[in-house]
Amino acid sequence: MMDIMKRIYMDHSATTPVDPLVVDAMLPYFSERFGNSSSLHSFGQEADEALSLARAQVADSIGAQAEEVIFTSGGTESDNIAIQGVISRDSGKKQHIITSVIEHPAVLSTCDFMKGIGHDITYVPVSSEGIVNVDDIEKAIRDDTVLISVMHANNEIGTIQPIEEIAKIAKDNDVYLHTDAVQSVGKIPVDVNKLGVDMLSISSHKLHGPKGVGALYVREGTLLKPVTFGGGHESGLRPGTENIPGIVGFAKASSIAKERLAIDSSQMGRLRDSIIKKVFDTIDDVRLNGHATKRLPNNANLSFRYVEGESMLMLLDIAGIAISTGSACSSRSRHASHVLDSIGLDPDYVHGSIRISLGRDNTMEEVDYLAGTLRETVSKLRQISSPAKC
């Protein structure tokens, strides 16, 4: 039996602990090399050099050129700049965007806002396994379509979308393609040229870097307008004094993630498969949400019939294990997850959904403890409850 004083973190899709090597890289940039990268004196030059190096490191981690990386405050801002920036090129003209129904709110809410100010949005559906159909995207293209925004990997069910195929369609139709790769970087290979995307969003805190920093990759020649205004930082696309310690940490985390990718993803995949097997071997009436193979190696989104995800989360938390519910019904919003809704999950299962997202430091011992605790938890909850209502 695991020492329950030790807490086990299996919610890495929410955020990750900052790698100690990343903290070490950041520290000098708070009080020692604290210059503003726009200043001309030696303090400024030091910061500017760090910024250039960081840009090259982040670019290298996704196969881009340094000049194509714009530092932002994270995934949300990167998604906003990509979508609003394309639309702003032709202000006053009604334009059309294609996206998917399972995007993160950073994309969906931005598209909803665009709709509110008069643009048209097509939300393509996904299959019961959570994958978009490339033909649906092709059929949705119109003369006024300017952008396709489809996420690389889904944050709830981990499905990986056919971005390379979508890129061919986008190119043939002269439409920009943006992908939100916030969940995929550090888990599966991400190369902007292999994917064929024009824009790609990354967030540092999902890959063992600090929070509040990220990047938007913008392919050379892509026409975008800024959505906030100020000095000419970040090629004029993201004005504001750069967060040098955060950017240095993000760059270090990106380099480490690239170096460790093969080992980390196979280790997480082994643990993830073991969780799924143990759960299916010991618990009845359970489903794995998302695609069997086209999924992130660290994601297991499971639904247990007649159990509430929120109750599971709480009992697991008491047992020292942090996971998240698959259905937002149990947390801040009373609505079921739009992703689980979109894959048409049976209502008996929807509210008993949990997301287990592994990280590079999880172990098989932790997985065994999780599987045993899950079995006990589901059995206990099923004894005390009739079909779950949420």
Residues annotated catalytic, as ranges: 329
Tell whether residue 74 is a contact of ligand PLP (CB under 6 A). yes
249: tokens are 């940490």
179: tokens are 């992908």
Tell whether residue 214 is a contact of ligand PLP (CB under 6 A). yes
Among 180, 234, 242, 366, contact with ligand PLP (rule: CB under 6 A): 180
Binding mask 96-135 for ligand PLP (x = CB under 6 A): --------x-x-----------------------------
384: tokens are 């005390």
Give every CB contact of residue 92 below 8 A, 6+ residues apart in sequence: none
b/e burial code for range 140-160 (CB count within 10 A of at least 16 → b)? bbeeebbbbbbbbbbbbbbbb
Q: What totals of helices (H) and strands (E) does the chain contain, helices first?
A: 13, 13
Q: How far is the CB of 382 from ligand PLP (least distance, A)?
A: 31
Cβ neighbours, 10 Å, residue 375:
15
CB closer to ligand PLP, 106 vs 247: 106
Among 47, 54, 151, 224, contact with ligand PLP (rule: CB under 6 A): 151
Q: How far is the CB of 323 from ligand PLP (least distance, A)?
A: 15
Among 110, 155, 303, 342, contact with ligand PLP (rule: CB under 6 A): 155
Tell whether residue 76 is a contact of ligand PLP (CB under 6 A). yes
Q: How far is the CB of 41 from ligand PLP (least distance, A)?
A: 32
How many whole angstroms separate alpha carbon 313 and alpha carbon 310?
Answer: 5
Nearest to 304 by CA among 243, 222, 209, 387: 387
How many whole angstroms separate alpha carbon 129 and alpha carbon 158?
Answer: 10
Q: How far is the CB of 378 from ligand PLP (least distance, A)?
A: 27
Length in residues, the chain: 390
Tell whether residue 75 is a contact of ligand PLP (CB under 6 A). yes
What is the binding site for ligand PLP (CB under 6 A)? 74-76, 104, 106, 151, 155, 180, 182-183, 203, 205, 214
